[in-house]
């Protein structure tokens, strides 16, 4: 009961990470627009349609190449394009086609925006169009850069100061910075505050992953850790719902930020994890937490920390007398992931899968609002499809194996990307369903790679391997927004890139060894042997090594998640 309460309280706040990660899909949308005009409009002409105001023309607007002809109250006739305007020298009558002389001018009077869908966005607030369009395109990449930096900083702080303090700070920071974004006074303050919001959001997700894993028992650890992603997906669904109901960007941001306020108000009640307290030799504090857990779970005789301490002392003495070589441990670095050809090939493949999973995940998510139809429903479905995705991943990885699950879903996502290119653009429902299938397949691969990476590497470099893979994941998330912007060059360019990367990753994964049911390796030699002879690792390990692996299984979960996400 205690673990369940801690788990659901912690992962509830993980929804806020999904919320802030995808909030910009509606907050930074660019509506239809044309140059502003220096006067009051008396009549408007768009092809054969004549209206009294520009607002009535937006329903007829179909292309950025279109222009609007307006006549002012003083008799002047202007042609309004998106990034320029022309004043007709001769304005005897109001006609759409004109072959006389024109004076081409810049948009010095601002812009007129279509507010039928959104009353206000950050683009309309600060005119991030035309020569300032690149500023709008930097909003999501700078946020993802903050995610990368936050994961590194707060992951390290959590190991030094404890999980509890970081959870308090980052959850409160998400609320404070989330509200602060709505009250920023210019574009640059907006980007800076969102960068800080990205850091604390990423920091919370990293530490919450470790926090719940250190409380959950080993039997439920796989399912519990995988479904942290599911609550992240629920945050994406909240973005779609709030975006549909609130059409002013700063109100939209405030509502998103207060969605998880209940956790901020009660997160101070969450205890520190016994794992971290024991690692810091704070045995009395650890015993207090264990006693609280015992009372909640109605255990009459709680575990005594003193018993564990005596066992550890015996193991330490036995280890020193049994093997003098272990007293001087070698400090490992990133180069150890390329110590020989087999490990180097494995590392390159694993990094590529991390990058591809993150790239595909965010490309499908960010581009969902551009698929046609109802963009709010599209994003909601893209988030909802993840919920069964992680259930399938948990079942398949335990029944079929890690590699045998990863390969078909990577290749399937590549085939779906190709299939979408051949679907006619008029078939909106079919396109949306195909994108949901693509998000589902890449989501399975993305969720599975965390555990698979940890099992592919020996104990001495396991955290290093997962940490470096996580960094490649963050690189993919930074690249993803730029990949989505390539739709302006060719509408299928993002899908083509994701498809190529997924196919290449799927093919290279064939060369990776299966790890299901095999003992964890402790040395690089054992890990290399697992790659060379897949049968030899099923049972032919030295007794000392296999015993050490079994003894470290419980700590394995803690070690692998310390650098996840």
Mean pLDDT of 218-228: 76
**The pLDDT of residue 196:** 95
**The pLDDT of residue 309:** 63
- 111-122: per-residue pLDDT in tens? 989 888 888 999
The residues that bridge with 120 in the sheet, in sequence order, are: 248
- pLDDT interval class at 540 (50, 70, 90): very low
CA distance 477 to 334: 22
pLDDT over 90 (residue 463): no
Q: What angle do the packed helices 2-22 and 228-245 form, to 10 degrees?
A: 50
- pLDDT interval class at 532 (50, 70, 90): low
pLDDT over 80 (residue 165): yes
The angle at the Cα of 350, spanning 345 to 355, to the nearest 5 degrees, equals 125
- 376-410: per-residue pLDDT in tens? 998 999 899 988 888 888 888 888 888 899 999 99
**The pLDDT of residue 49:** 74
Mean pLDDT of 166-186: 92
Summary mean pLDDT of the chain? 81
**The pLDDT of residue 173:** 92
Residue located via tokens 């030699």: 525
3-state secondary structure 410-450: HHHHHHHHHHHHCCCCCCHHHHHHHHHHHHHHHHHHHHHHH
Of 47-51, 112-116, 413-417, which range is least confident? 47-51
**The pLDDT of residue 397:** 83
**The pLDDT of residue 541:** 39
CA distance 452 to 71: 66
Percent of the chain with pLDDT over 70: 86
- Domains of the chain (ranges plus CATH)? 1-31+120-270 (1.20.1250.20), 33-116 (no CATH), 334-529 (1.20.1250.20)
Q: Mapping DSSP to helix (H, G, I), strand (E, B) and coil, where does residue 374 land?
A: coil
pLDDT over 80 (residue 231): yes
Mean pLDDT of 264-285: 81
Percent of the chain with pLDDT over 90: 23
CA distance 475 to 481: 11
Residue 319 dihedral angles phi and psi, to the nearest 5°:
-65, -35
**The pLDDT of residue 326:** 42
pLDDT over 50 (residue 232): yes
Checking phi first, is residue 287 left (phi over 0); if not, alpha (psi -120 to 50) or beta?
alpha
Residue 510 dihedral angles phi and psi, to the nearest 5°:
-60, -30
């Amino acid at each position: 009961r205690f673990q369940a309460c801690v788990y659901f309280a912690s992962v509830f706040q993980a929804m806020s990470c999904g919320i802030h990660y995808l909030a910009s899909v509606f907050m930074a949308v660019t509506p239809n627009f044309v140059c502003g005009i220096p006067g009051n409009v008396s009549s408007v002409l768009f092809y054969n349609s004549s209206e009294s105001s520009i607002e009535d023309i937006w329903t007829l607007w179909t292309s950025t190449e279109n222009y609007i002809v307006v006549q002012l109250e003083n008799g002047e006739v202007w042609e309004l394009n998106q990034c320029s305007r022309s004043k007709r020298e001769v304005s005897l009558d109001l006609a759409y086609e004109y072959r006389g002389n024109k004076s081409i001018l810049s948009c010095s009077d601002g812009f007129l925006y279509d507010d039928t869908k959104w009353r206000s966005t950050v683009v309309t607030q600060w005119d991030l169009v035309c020569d300032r369009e690149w500023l709008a395109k930097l909003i999501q990449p700078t946020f993802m850069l903050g995610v990368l930096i936050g994961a590194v900083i707060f992951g390290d702080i959590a190991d030094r100061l404890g999980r509890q303090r970081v959870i308090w700070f980052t959850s409160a920071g998400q609320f404070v910075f989330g509200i602060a974004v709505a009250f920023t006074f210019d574009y640059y303050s907006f980007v800076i505050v969102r960068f800080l919001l990205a850091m604390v959001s990423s920091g919370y997700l990293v530490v919450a992953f470790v926090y719940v894993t250190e409380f959950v028992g080993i039997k439920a650890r796989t399912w519990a850790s995988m479904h942290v992603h599911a609550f992240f997906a629920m945050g994406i669904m909240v973005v779609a719902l709030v975006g549909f109901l609130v059409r002013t960007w700063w109100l939209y941001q405030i509502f998103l930020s207060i969605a998880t306020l209940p956790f901020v108000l009660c997160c101070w009640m969450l205890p520190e994890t016994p794992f971290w307290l024991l690692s810091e030799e704070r045995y009395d504090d650890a015993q207090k937490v264990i006693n609280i857990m015992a009372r909640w779970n109605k255990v009459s005789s709680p575990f005594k920390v003193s018993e564990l301490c005596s066992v550890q002392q015996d193991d330490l003495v036995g280890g020193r007398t049994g093997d003098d070589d272990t007293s001087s441990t070698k400090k490992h670095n990133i180069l150890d992931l390329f110590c020989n050809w087999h490990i180097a090939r494995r590392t390159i493949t694993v990094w590529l899968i991390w990058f591809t999973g993150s790239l595909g995940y965010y490309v499908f998510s960010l581009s969902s609002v551009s698929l046609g139809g109802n963009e709010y429903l599209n994003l909601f479905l893209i988030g909802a499809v993840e919920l069964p995705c992680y259930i399938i991943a948990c079942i398949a990885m335990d029944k079929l194996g890690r590699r045998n699950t990863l390969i078909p879903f990577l290749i399937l996502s590549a085939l779906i990307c190709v299939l979408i290119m051949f679907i006619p653009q008029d078939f909106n429902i079919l396109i949306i369903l195909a994108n949901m299938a693509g998000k589902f397949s890449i989501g399975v691969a993305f969720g599975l790679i965390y555990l698979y990476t940890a099992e592919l590497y020996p104990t001495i470099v396991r955290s290093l391997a997962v940490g470096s893979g996580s960094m490649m994941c963050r690189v993919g998330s930074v690249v993803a927004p730029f990949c989505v912007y390539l739709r302006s060059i060719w509408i299928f360019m993002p899908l083509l890139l994701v498809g190529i990367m997924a196919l290449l990753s799927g093919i290279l994964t064939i060369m990776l060894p299966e790890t299901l049911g095999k003992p964890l390796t402790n040395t690089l030699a054992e890990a290399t042997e697992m790659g060379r002879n897949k049968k030899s690792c099923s049972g032919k390990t030295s007794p000392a090594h296999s015993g050490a692996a079994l003894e470290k299984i419980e700590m394995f979960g803690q070690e692998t998640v310390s650098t996840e996400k």
